[in-house]
Amino acid sequence: MLIRKLFKFENAHIVRDCTTQRCSENIHGHSYKIEVLLESNYLDNGQMVYDFGLTKRYIKELIDSFDHAITLWSKDDEAYVRSMKKYSNRWVELPVSPSAEQFSRVIYLMVERVLACTDMQNGEREVRLHSIIVHETETGYAQGFKDDAHSEAMGAIRLEEIVFSPQVQSEWSDPKLWEKLLDHSMIKNPKKV
């Protein structure tokens, strides 16, 4: 069984070295739509793969980290990165360029870690992340799967190299969420939301 949950955020970026000059040489933004597709061969006590209400906690919080923020590539020009951090309180720094393709890989790895670290409370079993679809525009999207997310050929992504600004972290229900996920600490789903 496959289920889908849609999230949205507004984000600014530059995609260096892409063919389109407007994208590679100018800060610009998109209204992103993110589809999280989960699967399992089992249903929980409520006859669901995974209650959509549960996705509004840690999964939504991490995806929402990109909302009204600028996404930076750690290998971009140092002066540019420093300036963006100086003049924006909401930023996320990635070890890869923030293209739709890389966003799908990054978000895949984040959601995968959330699921791996979640102590399920309502009979959920073998809930797996099927894929992440990142709609950058109305006409274009990238879909990332497990092999893509873990592909060295597409550029290594280590979660430890993803940095969230202090303001972004302060807005999470648990400001230490990212630290806990990096440490593989268990996070407990609530019995009711």
Active-site positions? 23, 68, 136
d(CA 128, CA 115): 8
In the three-class reduction of DSSP (H, G, I as helix; E, B as strand; rest coil), residue 81 is classed as helix
Hey, what are 52's tokens?
Answer: 């959509």
Tell me the sheet residues that pair with 94: 73
Helices (H), the chain: 21-24, 52-55, 58-64, 78-87, 100-116, 146-149, 166-170, 177-182
- With residue 144 as reference, give the H or E element that holds it: strand 141-144
d(CA 84, CA 72): 8
Strand pairing report for 187-188 and 118-119:
parallel
In sign, the C-alpha dihedral spanning 128, 151, 56, 30 is: negative
